[in-house]
């Protein structure tokens, strides 16, 4: 048998030193014919051959992931890889180091199994896209897919072959910092966009150039953490879990996601990393998932901190028994796998099943055949196309919340001077948002620079930062800001929260504007000029204390690298805003959780029955106060509903039609309506379809999103939008936790938000 020679980027071919290692590498690649002819083996045969050759310690190694060392390879890391004690390294993005790590694994370890190189590629890599919550505001799956593909290519050029995204936790509490990473509150929207994102990362073939494995997280229920506090307890009834929180994960599994990540949190008393109901019953037995599950950072070790296990050994046993394949960061598997096996508490068959899933992903990625990365075969990062895509994503994610007296868009012909105020106007780093370890702030284009570039010599720009950060309490810069406002034709004030105020472990109890930003708005309002607020944030904010003081509000989220040019284009009317809210905005934090797909209750509030706190007479008898479900001091409506977003155009909906009034069980029907641009500018509208099942064996939400389309219309142009509803769209989990569609009456709406008024009805009947 000839020794295999494995080319390594930029170096001469290096021979493998041991014939046994050569055989195993060839076995993994399917080339085992001693006569030199290829003998193509099935993936299962290749996995079986490797498992038969592995020691228990090497199997534990495949199940262990360790943190990288920031571009270096310490002796202990080198030795561990050489000994086959590591299956994956995370947070290493220096390509030369990654290639050397792979060389050690392939050429110096006994079995020559390549490494998974993991990284949080959450919303871009060097080129940063808007945060995922902002991308969800685009309601554009194709744009989300393209963004993930761009990020995958940039990350893969650094040797990364596995990302911990998409994050598809349903998020209905804006206090939770990680809502920034989510795709919002709705299971349908999160499913569609989550699938688009994972398809962008993985492509049609995991082994294709530039494809990286996706990881749907956090399984499951993490977004329902009590009080929005990260890592906290979640209690979700099984029916709610299946009808809401598990839906995006099932969609991801159906779409072929390679891996899942267990949640930090506990679910109904059982931490996810040791939860057999989630990992075995639902994920493997019911859904047939064949990929693998990785723990979150040290979450197996933390099982004892939860009070679920007594020590690290018991934590390892609980996670292994649940079916968590790989342990991130902590080392309980490496320490106790052999001992648990010797004691008979786990079997070799269990271990082999867990390891086989890891090997399968490595084989599907083509790592045995192509373990090394040549950056020259990838497009350069932050290239012209990537920047254009980042700008388009930012453009479509910006939501116009208020536009009094049509103060926007600004016209250069009538605006001769602008005051640009605020700490978020010219901060290249803060506009990038959370989870941007690889983002390059030096390529960010800020709103201030974009406004100056657009205005040119036609408009005078006077910039005053006014506050050092969004959290500042000093009003020292207010006088200069007010002076600039008085001298300007209009004021653009950039507000919000710094990137560090959202994301993991950055939950907030008060989700109003931090610091004294509201006081800054008060001062600018008093100057008597039109005030446009542009808000950059990682979550919905309560804006009740500034709404009456500003003339327009653009919610730009954390818009990423190209946020500045996107914001400028919206401000000056190059594009009409088209973003729609993927999450409900409360009036005040006391309304949380508040979301559109709520249940009706037995005493639903109406405009006729709601009584505001200031309208209640003194000593009013208790029985006269209405007795409906609402807050006396906040009402029952949010500040801005799910799906809401204004445009510089206006859209009229009419002529809703259903293909048939009665639909036999198991068949489809179409629902259509005409949407017309009755405004003066070309613009895009997100047409939304909502359904209500009026009677079920478990109560159903008052509305559920079941379809959406982006349409671009010229002034005066009308288009018929058609949606098809099938059995799956009307199905839900009933009392027995089985997915069913019941006969009965349904209502359906088409419009521009979850408050759509154009309505029709149909009935599902038994055959």
Catalytically active residues, by annotation = 296
* Cα end-to-end distance, the chain, whole Å: 67
Reduced to 3 states, what is the DSSP secondary structure of residue 19? helix
C-alpha 535/C-alpha 553 separation (Å) is: 7
HEC readout, 272-333 = HHHCHHHHHHHHHHHCCCCCEEECCCCCCCCHHHHCCCCCHHHHHHHHHHHCCCEEECCCHH
Give Cα 201 to chain centroid, integer Å. Answer: 13
Tell me the Cα Rg of the chain. 28
Residue (of 215, 138, 151, 219) closest to 184 by Cα position: 138
Separation between Cα atoms, residue 302 and residue 266, nearest integer Å: 11
d(CA 707, CA 749): 11
39 with 17: CB under 8 angstroms?
Answer: no
Residue 142, class by beta-carbon neighbours within 10 Å (0-12 exposed, 13-18 middle, 19+ buried)?
Answer: exposed
Element spanning 262, H or E: strand 259-262
Q: Which of 321, 261, 329 is nearest to 122 (CA)?
A: 261
DSSP 298: T
CA-based nearest residue to 29, from 113, 88, 108: 113
Which residues, in sequence order, are CB contacts of 360 under 8 Å at separation 6+?
43, 47, 290, 291, 292
Is residue 367 within a helix (H) or strand (E), and if so which, with residue range? Answer: none
How far is C-alpha 689 from the geometric centre of its chain's CA atoms? 22
- Residue 753 and residue 689: Cα distance in Å, rounded? 9
Task: Tell me if 210 sits within 8 A of 203, measured CB to CB.
Answer: yes
What are φ and ψ of residue 658, in 5° steps?
Answer: -120, 145
Residue 386 main-chain phi, psi, to 5 deg: -65, -40
17 class by beta-carbon count within 10 Å (0-12 exposed, 13-18 middle, 19+ buried) = exposed
Q: What whole-number distance in Å separates Cα of residue 180 and Cα of residue 348?
A: 41
Interacting residues of 349 by C-beta distance below 8 A, sequence separation 6+ = none
């Amino acid at each position: 048998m000839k020794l295999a020679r494995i080319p390594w980027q930029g170096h001469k071919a290096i021979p493998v030193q041991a014939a046994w290692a050569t055989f195993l590498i060839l076995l993994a690649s399917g080339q085992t014919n001693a006569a030199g002819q290829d003998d193509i083996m099935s993936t299962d045969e290749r996995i079986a051959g490797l498992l038969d050759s592995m020691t228990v310690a090497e199997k534990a190694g495949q199940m262990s992931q360790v943190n990288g060392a920031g571009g270096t390879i310490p002796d202990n890391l080198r030795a561990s890889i050489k000994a086959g004690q590591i299956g994956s390294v995370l947070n290493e993005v220096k390509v030369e180091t990654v290639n050397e790590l792979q060389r050690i694994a392939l050429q110096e370890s006994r079995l020559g199994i390549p490494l998974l190189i993991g990284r949080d590629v959450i919303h871009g890599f060097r080129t940063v896209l808007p945060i995922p919550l902002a991308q969800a505001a685009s309601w554009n799956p194709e744009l989300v897919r393209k963004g993930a593909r761009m990020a995958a290519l940039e990350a893969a050029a650094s040797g990364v072959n596995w990302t911990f995204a998409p994050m598809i936790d349903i998020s209905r509490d804006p206090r939770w910092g990680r809502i920034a990473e989510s795709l919002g509150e709705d299971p349908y929207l999160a499913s569609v966009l989550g699938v688009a994102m994972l398809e962008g990362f993985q492509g049609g073939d995991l082994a294709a150039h530039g494809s990286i494995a996706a990881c749907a997280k956090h399984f499951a229920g993490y977004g329902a953490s009590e009080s929005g506090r990260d890592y906290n307890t979640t209690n979700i009834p099984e029916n709610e879990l299946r009808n809401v929180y598990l839906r995006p994960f099932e969609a991801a599994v159906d779409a072929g996601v390679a891996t899942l990540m267990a949640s930090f949190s506990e679910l109904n008393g059982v931490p996810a990393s040791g939860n057999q109901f989630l990992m075995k019953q639902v994920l493997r037995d019911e859904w047939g998932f064949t990929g693998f599950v990785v723990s979150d950072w040290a979450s197996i070790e933390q099982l004892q901190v939860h009070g679920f296990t007594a020590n690290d050994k018991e934590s390892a046993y609980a996670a292994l028994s649940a079916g968590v394949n790989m342990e991130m960061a902590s080392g309980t598997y490496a320490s106790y796998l052999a001992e648990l096996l010797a004691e008979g508490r786990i079997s070799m068959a269990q271990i082999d099943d867990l390891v086989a899933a890891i090997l399968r992903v490595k084989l599907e990625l083509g790592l045995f055949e192509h373990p090394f990365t040549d950056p020259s075969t990838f497009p350069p990062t932050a290239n012209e196309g990537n920047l254009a895509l980042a700008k388009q994503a930012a453009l479509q994610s910006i939501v116009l919340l208020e536009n009094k007296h049509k103060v926007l868009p600004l016209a250069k012909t009538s605006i001769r001077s602008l005051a640009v105020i605020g700490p978020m106007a010219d901060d290249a780093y803060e506009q990038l948002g959370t989870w941007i370890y690889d983002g390059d702030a030096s390529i960010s284009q800020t709103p201030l620079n974009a406004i100056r570039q657009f205005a040119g010599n036609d408009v005078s720009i006077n910039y005053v930062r006014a506050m050092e950060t969004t959290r500042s309490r000093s009003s020292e810069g207010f006088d200069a800001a007010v002076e600039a406002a008085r001298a300007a034709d209009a004021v653009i004030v950039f507000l919000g929260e710094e990137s560090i105020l959202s994301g993991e472990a950055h939950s907030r109890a008060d989700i109003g504007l931090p610091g004294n930003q509201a006081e800054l708005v008060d001062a600018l309002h008093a100057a008597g000029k039109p005030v446009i607020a542009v808000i950059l944030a990682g979550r919905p904010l309560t804006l009740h204390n500034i709404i009456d003081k500003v003339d327009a509000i653009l919610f730009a989220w954390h818009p990423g690298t190209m946020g500045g040019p996107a914001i400028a284009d919206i401000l000056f009317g190059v594009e009409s805003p088209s973003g729609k809210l993927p999450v409900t905005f409360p009036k005040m934090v006391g309304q949380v959780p508040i979301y559109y797909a709520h249940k009706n209750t037995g005493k639903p509030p109406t405009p006729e029955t709601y009584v505001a706190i200031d309208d209640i007479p003194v000593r009013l008898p208790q029985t006269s106060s209405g007795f409906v479900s609402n807050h006396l001091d906040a009402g029952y409506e949010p500040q801005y509903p799910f799906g809401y977003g204004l445009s510089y155009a206006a859209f009229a909906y009419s002529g809703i039609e259903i293909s048939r009034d009665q639909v036999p069980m198991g068949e489809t029907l179409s629902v259509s309506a005409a949407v017309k641009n009755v405004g003066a500018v070309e613009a895009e509208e997100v047409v939304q379809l909502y359904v209500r099942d009026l009677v079920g064996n478990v109560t159903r939400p008052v509305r559920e999103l079941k379809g959406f389309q982006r349409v671009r219309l010229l002034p005066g142009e009308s288009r018929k939008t058609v949606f098809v509803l099938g059995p799956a769209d009307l199905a839900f989990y009933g009392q027995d936790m089985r997915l069913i569609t019941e006969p009965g009456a349904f209502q359906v709406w088409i419009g521009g938000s979850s408050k759509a008024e154009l309505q029709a009805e149909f009935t599902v009947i038994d055959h």
